[in-house]
Amino acid sequence: MNFRKTAFRKNISQPAVSQSIKSIENELTVKLFTRSKSTVKLTTQGQKFYKKIKPLLNSYNKAVQEVRQNEENKETLTIGFTGSPYERNYLPKLLVDFQTQYKNIKVFLQNYNHTELKQQLNSKDCDVVFLTKDDVSVFSNIGYKKLITGYFVAVIPKSNKLAEKHRIDLTDFDHNRIVLLDNGWAPPEQLKLQEIIKSKNRNLDISYVNNVSVVDITCQAQLGVSIMPNFIASEESNLTVTRPINYEASLEYGLGFLKDNDSGAVRRFVKFTNQRLGNYRCD
């Protein structure tokens, strides 16, 4: 971080940048940065403040865009998603078709974990989010449209002996490194299955990660096995296979939106996605 470069990007003077930061620090009565001759770094309090203020800055920028679009008689639509392999595969194709049909809707994309998705939806920073039904079933204010149903699979490196099996029992994970999602990323049904697997396999080498993409890369890199709904997992490759797990669960994947949101853009996107999703199936 460098104040000179910040000033250049913002097209203002370096003293103006320094004065703005000093004013914020005086108002907060805490130091946000530590400075040396060559670098500037956030303090611990500065990092906390940035984490808290970033969503507000995003909301401000979105509000500016919406006002400008309204002036041009355009609608806006902010879509939240977790960035699963499945979403990375079909969402670009879906949005190309959607924008071709609805040129008057400007789309914004936001990437969050499962917990943040619900927070962003409730705060109206996202208009519609992709998630699993069990993630929002307890929220009476959130509407939900089912898109697909599925089941749990094990994602297995081809170098692992489990790849030779056609179905995976809950006790088959013993003596394996298994990569699990933490509470922020795993929806309720997956958290439940993870705990069952831990209880039935006493010799697990467990790694917790906070991003579904990290799970995918870890398995692709032959570093461990994992579990996830089949509609979240990526397609089989020359490095991994997916195998059904012998475990009954009612899994659904769809769109969440606030029931009191009367946006025409939301209604059109939900209807469009429901009609078109079959064209982008990954299984």
The pLDDT assigned to 20 comes to 81
Q: How many residues does the chain have?
A: 283
The residue whose two tokens read 């994947």 is: 253
Structural domain that includes position 268: 74-148+252-280
The pLDDT assigned to 209 comes to 92
Per-residue confidence at 283, pLDDT binned at 50, 70, 90? Answer: very low
Q: For residues 93 and 227, state if they share a domain.
A: no
C-alpha–C-alpha distance, residues 123 and 244, integer Å: 37
Residues facing 253 on adjacent strands: 132, 148
CATH code of residue 94: 3.40.190.10
- Angle, CA of 153, 142 and 208, to the nearest 5°: 35
Q: For residues 239 and 169, state if they share a domain.
A: yes
Span 122-148, pLDDT tens digits = 988 899 999 999 998 889 999 999 999
pTM of the model: 0.73
Span 145-193, pLDDT tens digits = 999 999 999 999 999 999 999 999 999 999 999 999 998 889 999 999 9
When divided into structural domains, the chain yields a total of: 3
Judge whether residue 83 has pLDDT over 80: yes
Judge whether residue 119 has pLDDT over 80: yes
Share the mean pLDDT of the chain: 87
The pLDDT assigned to 12 comes to 76
Is the sign of the CA dihedral 68, 71, 74, 80 positive or negative? positive
Structural contact between residues 54 and 125, judged by C-beta atoms closer than 8 angstroms: no
Judge whether residue 282 has pLDDT over 60: no
Q: For residues 49 and 104, state if they share a domain.
A: no
Specify if 230 maps to a domain: yes
